[in-house]
Structure 1
């Protein structure tokens, strides 16, 4: 088993936080097994990736980072643009960016870890954990695979008389509103798939209930520290709103925060490509999750209509008739865009993050063709 130690220290004013992060950095992270890549192999792949990067970002102002690795070895890594445009501070490998809905993959992994430790079951009803939860047939599994039928909190809180949008919304507020404001289901639970952020906001509350800790602390204990993710944290609205890496529109105008920015579980994790590589390698190692449970995460649960696009337990996928599968999760929040691609067969990880609105982030999926039989086009169409 190859070992990877990536030690970096996130700049924090709090000396206690620095000490804690340093201790986490000393841990050894198990990563995907595989032979050491030859210099020639790396050079060939790197050349192709550099060409792709230049055509897609280089001439048009990239602002973020791209990392491609295989067998835990970084083949290509590049950071461009500004972490803070006003201060002209450069983007670096240790700049934490808002990873938006890629946070769902990490939240799901924490839930699966709790299931692996027998602290929770996949088919357990949410009402056994959250007493005011109003939907009796919703289970942990249907939260993970977006089959609950719950409505998106971003939409029902816009309705008159539901929520004062001058007030910051919390995860607990979402639960209370659903229980007291007559927020009915959009459809009967487990009859179809519908991607919904509310599912993962509730999963965060489940994590808090089971662990007895705040989500911020639970994620540090369950995921970040064991996997050595030293530049990753859960955004705390009150503590971090003035210090977190800013989010920008395409013209570098600042995107201000709003009443939805305190919700976590579905979003609000800040991380780096290097830390997400550690996460991917750790998640897919033999000793982090129960292998049988991890296999269930990569099964498609949204098959009521014939198609190639599906969703597992916290992961998107494309399932072709050839038997080839592609696993990924994209994210968008304010001006932040993110792409996380995990290719278990080839032991390849592709990460792209940007804090300036840029849909080109999602095009990194085309790099999969360099490593396996994926029907994407590497060159621009």
Structure 2
């Protein structure tokens, strides 16, 4: 190659490099973290092809659910957002009541409601996705990720299964001198208070089950630390967006406090308070249709590796014999015959929620309400319509 040709060849390479760099820059300008986010684990929509339900199957089920709803949610004063599906096919839906009484807005299928502690299922799912990708280990100590966490014996698995022994932040901040109740508490504040106020555990790690919101507030911080995103961004990137959950979001206090669907007790709207900025344990708003997409994805064989998926659905609280137990982010009932039932309920302010997942029968039952009622939890009575479970129905009472 002559000297002149070598110079020409070098110029061509330089022009090509500049063009490539500009192209990459143009692509990344659309989202500052687009490239980084592609490295995060993301849930995939279910690709399972279920058999189509016949009208002969659907009609009696639909009529039975309708009778149930007419008893427990008989008029517009009983706000409800309810869905029953099998094989991913919606059998019955009901949406009624006030989304915002002052503005005259009614609850519809796309109205996001606060799902309260059902949020824990989503937080656990994000943690499990990170574990599946090898970003964390379930038996890893929390303080290896959050160095300021002052309890060296507590693991991520302890948080997921409510066996950490941590005290509930909702209670200890009420104690004199711990927190100014005029100030809004955050997840980081909860973590800081452990050391600043010398908050002790209720019991040593992994000695007993104690359902505690603090566990999932800490898991939200772990998600943030590992991903480098805020919890709302991480949940959107890893779960909501890839599943097409277009009406689901994490409540951010300053951003959403004026627009989020309020909750009620009777006809009285319940005001937000100092605990409403803590997320992970609560503060996801969603719809039954979006949660159905999530449930189908969680029950798909491609969700997690087999070993990790099995760990979700085993009971971790066996120090006392009984039917009630807790897995990794899911409540469960275990009967002596080996049959198991998985669900999660929630309550926050006037919001109540129930999520029932019946993977063996491919059935999903979801009920949400923003007007306080325990009738939301009565959807368990629908379970015997789809499987041989020893729950009482209205016909049994």
Normalised by the length of structure 2, the TM-score is 0.87
Measure, in 1, the Cα distance between the counterparts of 2:186 and 2:112.
Answer: 23
1-structure distance, mates of 2:310, 2:44: 24
Equivalent residues in 2 for 1:4-83, closer than 5 Å: 29-30=45-46, 33-59=49-75, 61-83=77-99
The correspondence for 1:191, drawn from 207, 217, 226, is 207
Q: What is aligned with 1:97?
A: 113
Give the counterpart of 1:86 among 91, 102, 107.
102
8 Å contact kept, 1:31–1:72: no
Select the residue among 335, 359, 365 that pairs with 1:344: 359
Task: Check conservation: 2:76, 2:96, Cα contact below 8 A.
Answer: no
Q: Counterparts of 1:73 and 1:295 in 2: how far apart (Å)? A: 26
State the Cα deviation string for residues 18-49 of structure 1 (Å, max 9, x = none). xxxxxxxxx98325553211121011211111
> Are the aligned partners of 1:95 and 1:272 in contact in 2 as well (CA < 8 Å)?
yes
Q: For residue 346 of structure 2, what is the aligned residue in structure 1?
A: 331
Give the structure 1 partner of residue 375 of structure 2.
360
Deviation string 1:248-298 (CA, Å, 9 cap, x unpaired) is: 00x221000000000000000000000010110111112232232121111
1:193–1:32 Cα change, 3 Å: farther
Residues 113-162 of structure 1: per-residue CA shift (max 9 Å, x gap): 01111111110100100000000011010000000000000111011111
For the 8 Å contact 1:64–1:354, the answer to whether it is kept is yes
Query: Given the alignment, which residue of 124, 130, 149 partners 1:133?
Result: 149
Q: Deviations over 1:58-109 (max 9, x none)?
A: 1583202110001111011110111111122111000000000000000000
CA distance in 1, matches of 2:80, 2:103: 16
Structure 2 residue matching 1:264: 3-state secondary structure = coil
Contact 1:99 1:331 in 2 (8 A): yes
Paired residues, number: 357
Equivalents in 1 of 2:248, 2:267: separation in Å? 24
Give the equivalent residue in structure 1 for 2:224: 208
Q: What's the secondary structure of 2:244's corresponding residue?
A: coil
Structure-2 change in CA distance of 1:260 and 1:32 (3 Å): farther
Are the aligned partners of 1:31 and 1:278 in contact in 2 as well (CA < 8 Å)? Answer: no
Which residue pairs with 1:317 in the alignment? 332
Q: What is aligned with 1:290?
A: 305
Structure-2 separation of matches of 1:186 and 1:355? 32
Q: Distance in 2 between matches of 1:156 and 1:90?
A: 37
Q: Secondary structure at the match of 1:310?
A: strand
Cα separation, partners in 2 of 1:345 and 1:264, compared to 1, 3 Å: same
2-side partners of 1:373 and 1:322: how far apart?
12
Matched-pair contact (CA < 8 Å) for 1:125–1:136:
yes
Distance in 2 (CA, whole Å) between partners of 1:259 and 1:31 is: 42
Partner Cα separation in structure 2 for residue 118 and residue 28 of structure 1: 18
What is aligned with 2:295? Answer: 280
Distance 1:368 1:33, change over 3 A: farther
Distance in 2, matches of 1:292 and 1:223, equals: 21
Change (3 A) 1:54 1:206: same
Q: Deviations over 1:1-22 (max 9, x none)?
A: xxxxxxxxxxxxxxx9xxxxxx
CA distance in 1 between partners of 2:148 and 2:89 (Å)? 47
Counterpart contact for 1:32–1:347, Cα < 8 Å:
no
1:111 equivalent in structure 2: 127
* Residue of structure 2 in register with 1:148 after alignment: 164
SS in structure 1 at match of 2:73: helix
**CA distance in 2 between partners of 1:325 and 1:64 (Å):** 27
Cα distance in 1 for partners of 2:78, 2:301 equals 36
**In 2, distance between residues paired with 1:290 and 1:361?**
33
